[in-house]
Structure 1
Amino acid sequence: MVAAPGLIVAAPSSGAGKTLVTLGLLAALRARGVMVQPFKNGPDYIDPAFHTAAAGRASFNLDSWAMSRTQIAALIGAQADADLMLAEGSMGLFDGVTTPGEAGNGTSAELSSLTGWPVVLVLDVSAQAQSAAATALGFARFAPDVPIAGVILNNVASAHHAALVRAGMERAGIAVFGALPRRADVVLPERHLGLVQAEEQPELAARLAAIGAFVADHVDLDQVRAAARGGLADHANATPIVPPGQRIALARDAAFSFVYPHLVEGWRRAGAEIVPFSPLADAAPDRHADVCWLPGGYPELHAGTLAAAAGFHAGLRTFAQTRPVHGECGGYMAMGAGLVDAAGTRHAMAGLLGLETSFATRRLHLGYRLAELTAPIPGQRAGARLRGHEFHYATIVHQPDAALARVSDAAGVPVPATGSRRGLATGSFFHLIARAT
């Protein structure tokens, strides 16, 4: 089966307005009765949650560095009932790693090349006029296999400003799908790892409706939809995702929300049962589960609450005596002995591992990772090679336990964050995306 045609919303750089435009298009087209399937290029937990709220359909990550072409095709093909595929790009259109991974270098341009989806280029024109056309033309000519369908202008100051930019685009032969005026009231709130999570915004539905109406007022939706092309044939023979257990206790709340939708969906497709629980509500993992999985998130913002969650700590320690517990990034920190918050206050964590982490001296750790396990984790044997990424500001103060994996970056350079293991407890700053082929 060939999936519906699609588009990729991309930009020359981060901060141009990709997420605003993507959410606006999703909400506006949904309001018209169009079934739009959202995707996000690359490793990102936050944007897909907003996509899901705007489109009414789960958004999935597509990553050419971590995923094979067949895996990408299978994820797209599984959503073949949609009318339109709409993917939000990452960083700048051509920004990625220099060493290719499974299917490419992780760029939005690579995704366009793989899928045949043309690019809608979002341009922040707040500090230029006709010169914006030179930027658009350069992007259009840079890679012949990455078609630029047209542009959406963002941060337009006035009708006169828009006319000047449009004149330059007409001269360059670049289609203009719309021009968005400056509007401070449609900006989404942010924090250190990106947007404030969708689930933390009580007025999200109204905000998304306003963004949809804003985009519908200033963008030719019919022209955008008509520009969609491409579509990969579904690959039913793609390697299935192996769940970490048959009955999975999955931590899920504002502190632990960074788990990829394609993994959870893959676990369910494989027949696993997922039982969510909230550490912030002092809940323990389900005692009938055969594995506990603690995703990443924002434990540093809730460190006091987590430290006081005696029921969660006791239940997790009891669980780990007989069944495996695995944590990724924030979950890994919560499994440790202690966490120092940004103010310098130490909070006791569950103590399954000896890890001590600190946000008092912040340092960004960001990038793709290739991990070779030296010990098994739930769902993966020792020796397995896994592709994923690392994205956090915490520093390791103390890590006394045995290493979990040999980890390198996208260029093959070893990184010191190897993860930890003690008994049935394992954890790492590494966020799993897919198994390496």
Structure 2
Amino acid sequence: MLPSGLMISAPASGTGKTTLMLGLLNALTKRGVTVQPFKSGPDYIDPGFHKAAAGRASFNLDSWAMGPGMLGQMVDQAAGADLALAEGSMGLFDGVAHPGETANGASADIAARMGWPVVLMLDVSGQAQSAAASALGFKMMRPDVPLAGVVLNKVASPRHEMLLRLGMDQVGVPVLGALPRRGAVELPERHLGLVQAEEQPKLMALLDAAGDFIAEHMDLDVLIAAAGDTQRPEGHGILPPPPGQRIALARDAAFSFVYPHLLEGWRNQGAEVSFFSPLADEAPDDGADICWLPGGYPELHAGKLAAAETFRTGLQKFAETRPVHGECGGYMAMGEGLVDKEGTRHQMAGILGLETSYEKRKMHLGYRLAQLQSPLPGLTEGARLRGHEFHYSTILSQPDAPLARVLDANGDEVPETGSRRGHATGTFFHLIGGASA
């Protein structure tokens, strides 16, 4: 039995929806409500905060990269919960120009497909009744995306709130909460988004403060009553198979960007996952079938990685006989060298010829469709994979054979083809799904 659900969204990034999401997860959990969190779109940082606030792993829902069958598998994670809450990405209707297997990646697509009404977070700074015009536009934009109501953020005074509510009454949009201008939680950020949950020394105190703030200024019973019945998607698209029976996975502050649904899917399909820390100078488990280096922040730890002799020699030895695969930051760490933002070059593992630099930052962001030009563990040559790329590095040299033909969401080829050398492979995109031939 799947619980009813809601989509937490906003007109744009930076309007406070993460504070609202975390506060709701904390406040509802403290009331004894079992909440299953989700994240709309290709984000691998927010789910860590969701898990800390709700006590349940959070999973991504992506309408561009996941077919309906895979979305159905993701929603099944909510079985046994009392409520499903999904945090949107960017603005509610923001997506790519060309739809993927299901839709264009917008949070609105997930809300429509799942039957989840939208809780819209509105930054009402510098406006009063005019905020109702924005709410009305969101209410009317797509009839298949119902608006449960709005949460007014940065309300300046009781009089300000009264005028805002008057405007919302005129357009028939319920007000689910009004949050005063002074916020409850401020989480530090770096260039790929929030600093990771495990790096927050006072995380639980921040979450408790957010939960108390939200509970004080919202009617949680009205919010729960506004949830819609969950519609489980059916159709094509499944989780990618595990790359091996025993997987050695790098995990520490430099390598942590792995989608929860991949790990869960690998384990559900019978794979065993062991963790090791390159920053602690640990080598991958010699009993593993494959070594997997996720993305993360190798550029922030390049000196330490360069000095990690046990890790580097262990990885080189592993790659002599078994597959090693890296995604984005993991791919960079497998290369010959990495130049940090100060212009200092650091020696990396050298099992691929890749040279990358952060000295002149250039953002690479967007969905990727890749067709493999040679096989990967668990995947055949010709397999079509869907993923997402987000980094600020520049390729100085990528001399090895390309791993795949890679297109962006508009169908244009990108130079980040990935590489293959012997048993070593790497990509700049993070795999999400779509393992079809």
Moved more, 292-301 or 377-386: 377-386
Q: Match of 1:251?
A: 250
Listed one character per residue, the Cα deviations across residues 266-311 of structure 1 (whole Å, up to 9, x for unaligned) are 0000100000000010000000001000000011111111111111
Per-residue deviation, 1:436? 4.6
Q: Match of 2:29?
A: 30
In structure 2, C-alpha distance between the alignment counterparts of 1:272 and 1:353, rounded to whole Å: 26
SS class of match (1:13)? coil
TM-score, normalised via structure 1 length? 0.98
Per-residue deviation, 1:241? 3.3
Alignment-mate amino acid for residue 210 of structure 1 = A
- Is the 1:74–1:236 Cα contact (8 Å) retained in structure 2? no
SS class of match (1:179)? strand
- Structure 1 residue 123 and structure 2 residue 122: aligned? yes
Residues 416 and 247 of structure 1: CA distance in aligned 2, closer, same or farther (over 3 Å): same
Segments of structure 1 that go 5 or more residues without pairing to the other structure are: none
In structure 2, C-alpha distance between the alignment counterparts of 1:313 and 1:353, rounded to whole Å: 12
Q: Match of 1:154?
A: 153
Per-residue deviation, 1:127? 2.2
- Is the 2:12–2:91 Cα contact (8 Å) retained in structure 1? yes
Q: Match of 1:47?
A: 46
Q: Match of 2:230?
A: 231
**How many pairs are equivalent?**
436
In structure 1, C-alpha distance between the alignment counterparts of 2:186 and 2:166, rounded to whole Å: 28
Q: Match of 2:279?
A: 280
Per-residue deviation, 1:162? 1.5
In structure 1, C-alpha distance between the alignment counterparts of 2:340 and 2:429, rounded to whole Å: 21
Per-residue deviation, 1:378? 2.1
The 5 Å alignment of 1:100-249 reads 100-184=99-183, 186-233=185-232, 239-249=238-248
- Is the 1:102–1:436 Cα contact (8 Å) retained in structure 2? no
Per-residue deviation, 1:171? 1.3
Listed one character per residue, the Cα deviations across residues 212-261 of structure 1 (whole Å, up to 9, x for unaligned) are 11111111111111000021237599635310100000000111010000
- Is the 2:184–2:209 Cα contact (8 Å) retained in structure 1? no
Listed one character per residue, the Cα deviations across residues 407-427 of structure 1 (whole Å, up to 9, x for unaligned) are 001111111110111110000
- Structure 1 residue 391 and structure 2 residue 390: aligned? yes
Q: Match of 2:72?
A: 73
- Is the 1:37–1:84 Cα contact (8 Å) retained in structure 2? yes
In structure 2, C-alpha distance between the alignment counterparts of 1:345 and 1:239, rounded to whole Å: 43
SS class of match (1:296)? coil
Listed one character per residue, the Cα deviations across residues 306-353 of structure 1 (whole Å, up to 9, x for unaligned) are 111111001000000000000000000000111111111111111011
Q: Match of 1:352?
A: 351
- Deviating beyond 4 angstroms after TM superposition, the runs of 4 or more aligned structure 1 residues are 234-238
In structure 2, C-alpha distance between the alignment counterparts of 1:5 and 1:218, rounded to whole Å: 23
Alignment-mate amino acid for residue 425 of structure 1 = A
Alignment-mate amino acid for residue 140 of structure 1 = K
In structure 2, C-alpha distance between the alignment counterparts of 1:306 and 1:90, rounded to whole Å: 32
Q: Match of 1:265?
A: 264
Q: Match of 1:375?
A: 374
SS class of match (1:162)? helix
Paired-residue identity, %:
67
Per-residue deviation, 1:144? 0.4
SS class of match (1:266)? helix
Q: Match of 2:329?
A: 330
Q: Please, what is the CA RMSD of the aligned residues?
A: 1.3
In structure 2, C-alpha distance between the alignment counterparts of 1:379 and 1:203, rounded to whole Å: 40
In structure 2, C-alpha distance between the alignment counterparts of 1:316 and 1:72, rounded to whole Å: 35
In structure 2, C-alpha distance between the alignment counterparts of 1:297 and 1:188, rounded to whole Å: 18
Listed one character per residue, the Cα deviations across residues 156-182 of structure 1 (whole Å, up to 9, x for unaligned) are 122222222111111111100111112
Alignment-mate amino acid for residue 313 of structure 1 = R
Listed one character per residue, the Cα deviations across residues 86-106 of structure 1 (whole Å, up to 9, x for unaligned) are 000011100001211111111
- Is the 2:319–2:423 Cα contact (8 Å) retained in structure 1? yes
- Is the 1:77–1:234 Cα contact (8 Å) retained in structure 2? no
Listed one character per residue, the Cα deviations across residues 175-201 of structure 1 (whole Å, up to 9, x for unaligned) are 001111122551111111100110100
In structure 1, C-alpha distance between the alignment counterparts of 2:16 and 2:211, rounded to whole Å: 14
- Structure 1 residue 90 and structure 2 residue 89: aligned? yes
- Is the 2:70–2:236 Cα contact (8 Å) retained in structure 1? no
In structure 2, C-alpha distance between the alignment counterparts of 1:46 and 1:234, rounded to whole Å: 25
- Is the 2:67–2:235 Cα contact (8 Å) retained in structure 1? no
In structure 2, C-alpha distance between the alignment counterparts of 1:234 and 1:128, rounded to whole Å: 39
- Is the 1:66–1:436 Cα contact (8 Å) retained in structure 2? no
- Is the 2:238–2:433 Cα contact (8 Å) retained in structure 1? no
In structure 1, C-alpha distance between the alignment counterparts of 2:376 and 2:202, rounded to whole Å: 39
- Is the 1:117–1:228 Cα contact (8 Å) retained in structure 2? yes
Segments of structure 2 that go 5 or more residues without pairing to the other structure are: none
Listed one character per residue, the Cα deviations across residues 48-95 of structure 1 (whole Å, up to 9, x for unaligned) are 110010000000000011111111112112321110000000111000
Listed one character per residue, the Cα deviations across residues 372-401 of structure 1 (whole Å, up to 9, x for unaligned) are 011112221111100011100001011111
SS class of match (1:210)? helix
The 5 Å alignment of 1:391-430 reads 391-430=390-429
- Structure 1 residue 309 and structure 2 residue 308: aligned? yes
Residues 66 and 237 of structure 1: CA distance in aligned 2, closer, same or farther (over 3 Å): closer
In structure 2, C-alpha distance between the alignment counterparts of 1:362 and 1:238, rounded to whole Å: 36
Alignment-mate amino acid for residue 57 of structure 1 = R
